[in-house]
A and B are shown apart, each in its own frame.
Chain A
Amino acid sequence: MNFDLTEERQMLQDGLRRYLRENVTPEALNAATDSQTGHSEAVWEGLTEMGVIGALFSEDDGGFGGAGFDLSVVFEEMGRAGVFEPLLETGVLAGGLIAALGSDAQKEMIEEIIAGKVLSFAHGEPRARYDLNHVETKAEQTAEGWTLSGTKTVVGHAAIADAFVVSARTAGDAADEDGISLFLVPADAEGLSIRDYPMNGGGRAGEVTLDGVTVPADALIGEAGKAFPEIEKAAARATAAISAEALGLMETIRELTVGYLQQRKQFGKPIGKFQALQHRMADVLIEIEQARSAVINLAGHLDSPRAERERHVSATKNLIGRAGRLVAEESIQMHGGIGMTQEYALGHLAKRLTMVDHRFGDTDFHLERFIRLSAA
């Protein structure tokens, strides 16, 4: 047994933590939240210069990582700092799908992605909730290529994406796994429109409407109708990433809360002297350790056979959802009124942590799925 990071990953973690600590202040996060782009260009540039996006891709694809533990190292630090850069959308989802299924010509884009080009994965739909197989957007083959029509919802960082990987149905019914295809669609394609809006916990997203968007035949990524297994795998990797981000958020929340319990005095003594709060804090610490183990479990099983991998996806996401809610709610409670304010860093971190449960399936979704996968 060895739970230590490799030397390379340790260096990546140290470098990232130092960079983010020095460059991301609560004021900078607030400014990024309020900005039109919904992220910090300076931080994004810093991350690309450090080569962080390359850590999300394998050497074969032009990166220097790509394994589960590379994802977890990077995203834990993103969570620690509370940043909301388009790393998941561009590096794990859109970029990951291109790496997995793309033609040689399409894969050339990965180099640009590593250099900072922003892509997003337009997959969620109004009636899909968390079902990855629910795709109603249609793609029809034409003489020029493909024509896409449909609505994609809560597409992360949509307004700043240069292009989208769009899922669309080329065969079958709304909930079939078979018949889902992926297309590379430039953001300025005719018929594509975006309603851009801010998100709880920072960052922006958009509703992407495709109204007869025509793309050439070579915009198809991989084989027509066969994309679902790779979508599921990309979602597994994204779940590992966002779970690690949640863990990083919990770590910073823990630091803030411990500091507060030590410093804040009430009834003549530090509030951390009250047993009621000591026990709550102990429960929070236990759950954070559980969360760390769950993240390790998933990161270590991303390349396992499907059944084993997906069981870990659901186990981890369920636990992260439960631990995340406990940590967010308890930390606000232990902070009292100050924890309710937008100005103090905790509010932002707790909101981000709470919102993790609304991505890639919530606690109930994954509890039910875990039971189903375990019975299979």
Chain B
Amino acid sequence: MDLTYTDDQKAFRDEVRSFLAEKLPKRLSDKVAGGKRLTKEDYEEWHAILNEKGWLGVTWPKEHGGTGWDAVERHIFEEETTRAAAPRIVPFGLNMLGPVLMKFGSKEQQAHYLPRILNGDDWWCQGYSEPGAGSDLASVKTTAVREGDHYIVNGQKTWTTLGQYANMIFCLVRTSKDGKPQEGISFLLIDMDTPGVTVRPIVLIDGEAEVNEVWFEDVKVPAENLVGEENKGWTYAKYLLTHERTNIAGVGFATSALSNLKRIAGLEQSGGKPLIENPFFAAKMAQVEIDLMAMATTNLRTIAAAAAGNAPGAESSMLKIKGTVIRQEINALTRQAVGPYAMPFVSEALDEGANVSPVGPDYALPATQSYFNNRKLSIYGGSNEVQRQIISKAILEL
């Protein structure tokens, strides 16, 4: 048992730190730390900086232009970039589609799309969920009918995160109604500029439009955009989901949210004393910190096992549940900490350079927004109920 990093890992951490100190624009880290709204250009700027260093494809092998890092190195990178308040790496092209293309895509698809993902030529979004499907992905209804050298796609996708920025979407489509629901699904790449594609934003309860509905009406997609074999898409979809579930614990996010909470609790006064000294509030804060300390180690244990070549099983579901519950509790405490100032909703104050000042302290508005926005954490990526099913199925073997 050794809870410390090796010398190589420590040296790697230092390298990441000095890179961030030098290359992460303060304008961007200020926005992230202040809970301001990030634009498409902000993400692209940070991706380009990482790409120049060769650190954008963090889950990719070197032969495709990735870092070739193992699970521990990826974790260190994740922890440091979160601590430094870097924008997140938008995962759809890099962490989801990229690995699928590397494993199942044709040589032509790999040669065409992978460099474009790294260069920022394409912004991908995910076309998995549908109205009425939710965590039951095998029930997708969007159809793709082969006509000559094209597919004709009809249907609707939903919860398409940042789809408003995307020019490409990877979709699960139904190519056959025979057999089990999982058997007739294919994995198709669609150019969002094709006639018949419509994107409609969905405003969420935090007032933001980060997800969208995407409609396909007789959309003509070249047959060469099929990944792998027709009707085998479920296999690729599951492979993608295992990648989606990397960094599912969100330790870095929880850690920075907790330090933000402590900062706020130190500034807010309750009954003439800093809120951080209020025994009721302090007890709740301490409990979530204790949970987080243990979860960080659970996460490292899983990462160490993965680095040693053991595929994570139910552990990723456990991390999903615990990680999301902890983050949501920190968000709830942060909302509570800001007191009556949790109520004003001055959305414009989240824009960089907005001519509108916040009501009360500048940390109040993002506190409430994050609380409402992060209700999604226990819903998406397979709801926490579905994760509990996975865990109990693995253990009970009934």
Complex CA–CA separation, A337 to B202 (angstroms): 11
For window 251-287 of B, CB contacts with A under 8 Å fall at 268-272, 278-281, 284
Q: A342's contact among B203, B270, B371, B388, by CB below 8 Å, is which?
A: B203
How distant is B27 from chain A, measured CB to nearest CB, in Å? 26
Complex CA–CA separation, A267 to B383 (angstroms): 13
Q: Check B341 for interface membership: any CB of A closer than 8 A.
A: yes
In the complex, what residue of chain A is closest to B271 when comparing beta carbons?
Answer: A131
Knowing A124-B340, A266-B134, A355-B343 touch, does A341 contact B269 (C-beta < 8 A)? no
Q: Across the interface, do A197 and B359 meet the contact criterion of CB distance under 8 Å?
A: yes
How distant is B168 from chain A, measured CB to nearest CB, in Å? 23
Q: Across the interface, do A129 and B270 meet the contact criterion of CB distance under 8 Å?
A: yes
Query: Which B residues lie within 8 Å of A207 (CB)?
Result: 359
Query: Which A residues lie within 8 Å of B284 (CB)?
Result: 364
Query: Which A residues lie within 8 Å of B359 (CB)?
Result: 153-154, 195, 197, 207
Query: Which B residues lie within 8 Å of A199 (CB)?
Result: 343-345
Q: Across the interface, do A266 and B343 meet the contact criterion of CB distance under 8 Å?
A: no
Q: Across the interface, do A325 and B340 meet the contact criterion of CB distance under 8 Å?
A: no
Complex CA–CA separation, A355 to B278 (angstroms): 21
Q: Check B332 for interface membership: any CB of A closer than 8 A.
A: yes
In the complex, what residue of chain A is closest to B347 when comparing beta carbons?
Answer: A198
Query: Which B residues lie within 8 Å of A364 (CB)?
Result: 278, 280-281, 284, 336
Query: Which A residues lie within 8 Å of B340 (CB)?
Result: 124, 129-130, 153-154, 358-359
Complex CA–CA separation, A350 to B270 (angstroms): 26
Q: Check B195 for interface membership: any CB of A closer than 8 A.
A: no
Query: Which B residues lie within 8 Å of A205 (CB)?
Result: 343-344
Q: Across the interface, do A358 and B134 meet the contact criterion of CB distance under 8 Å?
A: no
Query: Which B residues lie within 8 Å of A124 (CB)?
Result: 340
Complex CA–CA separation, A207 to B341 (angstroms): 11
Complex CA–CA separation, A358 to B332 (angstroms): 12
Interface residues on A, range: 35 or more
Q: Check A276 for interface membership: any CB of B closer than 8 A.
A: yes
Interface residues on B, range: 35 or more
Query: Which A residues lie within 8 Å of B132 (CB)?
Result: 265
For window 322-373 of A, CB contacts with B under 8 Å fall at 325, 329, 332-333, 336-337, 339-343, 347, 350-351, 354-355, 357-359, 362-365, 367-368
Query: Which B residues lie within 8 Å of A363 (CB)?
Result: 336
Q: Across the interface, do A367 and B280 meet the contact criterion of CB distance under 8 Å?
A: yes
Q: Across the interface, do A343 and B203 meet the contact criterion of CB distance under 8 Å?
A: yes
For window 205-225 of B, CB contacts with A under 8 Å fall at 205, 207
Complex CA–CA separation, A161 to B205 (angstroms): 28
How distant is A97 from chain B, measured CB to nearest CB, in Å? 19
Q: Which of B207, B281, B342 has the most CB of A within 10 A?
A: B342
How distant is A246 from chain B, measured CB to nearest CB, in Å? 14
Q: Across the interface, do A129 and B339 meet the contact criterion of CB distance under 8 Å?
A: yes
Query: Which B residues lie within 8 Å of A262 (CB)?
Result: none
Interface-forming stretch among B44-52, B109-117, B372-380?
B372-380
Knowing A200-B368, A351-B205 touch, does A127 contact B269 (C-beta < 8 A)? yes
Q: Check A100 for interface membership: any CB of B closer than 8 A.
A: no
In the complex, what residue of chain B is closest to A348 when comparing beta carbons?
Answer: B205
For window 21-79 of A, CB contacts with B under 8 Å fall at none
In the complex, what residue of chain A is closest to B328 when comparing beta carbons?
Answer: A329
Query: Which B residues lie within 8 Å of A129 (CB)?
Result: 268-271, 339-340
Complex CA–CA separation, A175 to B269 (angstroms): 13
How distant is A122 from chain B, measured CB to nearest CB, in Å? 13
Question: Would you mind naming 7 contact pairs between A and B with Cβ atoms under 8 Å apart?
Answer: A153-B360, A200-B342, A266-B135, A337-B376, A339-B375, A354-B372, A365-B270
